[in-house]
Amino acid sequence: MTGAVPDPLPGWLTAARRITVLTGAGVSTDSGIPDFRGPRGVWTRDPEAEKLSTLRYYVADPGVRRRAWQERRRHPAWTAAPNTAHAALVDLERQGRLRALLTQNIDGLHQAAGSSPELVLELHGTVHEVACLSCGVRTPMRATLDRVDAGEDDPACRDCGGILKSATISFGQALDADVLDAAARAAADCDLLLAVGTSLTVHPAAGLVEVAAANGARVVVVNAEPTPYDGLADLVVREPIATALPRLVGRVA
């Protein structure tokens, strides 16, 4: 079924007790953080910006790194507040129905809303930390942004001189194996997989939907645009996330 949130909700949805949620950039657009591929997305408006998230360009080109640091200084995550979609997922946890919250987002807004850090798996890392590409040391983002503010346009690692980058997963960079393993277990071990605000085009994250379905879970997709996994879903909701999600998870059988 595709369209609005059904009223009444299907019984299998209100009866689900081990829900694994997979979120993407669309969950945070109402918090003022643009997605990448939506109609007003960062890459839709400026295809060159994709280079900033691609490891080989970042490593090879100091100009790309300088631009990336300026973008990080201005990143909307520093001032963004969680919205009703983040709050609905906190509510789902309080109901005792949240198995895990797998997020492709790097903005930290699920934790800021009150989701338990031990239930949140950040598949693509976090923008709140910096990692050295040579020695791996991690430091708070703020400390490096202070160096950028003070005039260092491409700050190097203070321990080893290596290239610094936000602790996010760029294209060409492997996901943390432990995080991915835990996410795959949570996808395999749920009775409902809820994919929200993601174009489901980035792998391996998108493949978690298939893992859940193959293990017998129901699948709900909440996204304004079609995704490659809509055909696998028991329910596809096209309504805005901020109004759809509270209605989808707010009722328990």
The answer to whether 25 contacts ligand NAD (rule: CB under 6 A) is yes
30 or 191: CB nearest ligand NAD = 30
Residues 90-121 as b or e (16 or more Cβ within 10 Å = b)? bbbbeeebbbbbbbbbbbbbbbebebeeebbb
Comparison of 39 and 216: residue with beta carbon closer to ligand NAD: 39
Restricted to residues 228-247, the positions that interact with ligand NAD (CB under 6 A) are 240-241
Other beta carbons within 10 Å of 249? 27
28 forms part of the interface with ligand NAD (CB under 6 A): yes
CA dihedral 57, 58, 61, 66 (to 10 degrees): 140
Among 12, 17, 18, 37, the residue binding ligand NAD under the rule CB under 6 A is 37
**What string marks each residue from 101 to 120 as x (binds ligand NAD by CB under 6 A) or -?**
---xxxx-------------
What is the radius of gyration, based on Cα positions, of the chain? 19
Q: Does 122 bind ligand NAD (CB under 6 A)?
A: no
Tell how far CA 111 is from the center of its chain.
12
Active site residue 124: yes
Binding residues for ligand NAD restricted to 85-104, rule: CB under 6 A = 104
Stretch 158-187 residues interacting with ligand NAD (CB under 6 A): none
Indicate the DSSP class of residue 156: B
DSSP 176: P
State in angstroms the smallest separation of the CB of 152 from ligand NAD: 25
d(CA 183, CA 251): 25
The catalytic residue among 110, 124, 128, 203 is 124
Residue 16's closest CA among 186, 190, 235, 188? Answer: 190
Instruction: Report if residue 192 touches ligand NAD, rule: CB under 6 A.
Output: no
Residues catalogued as catalytic: 124
Binding site for ligand NAD (CB under 6 A): 24-26, 28-30, 33, 35-38, 41, 104-107, 124, 197-199, 201-202, 223-225, 240-241
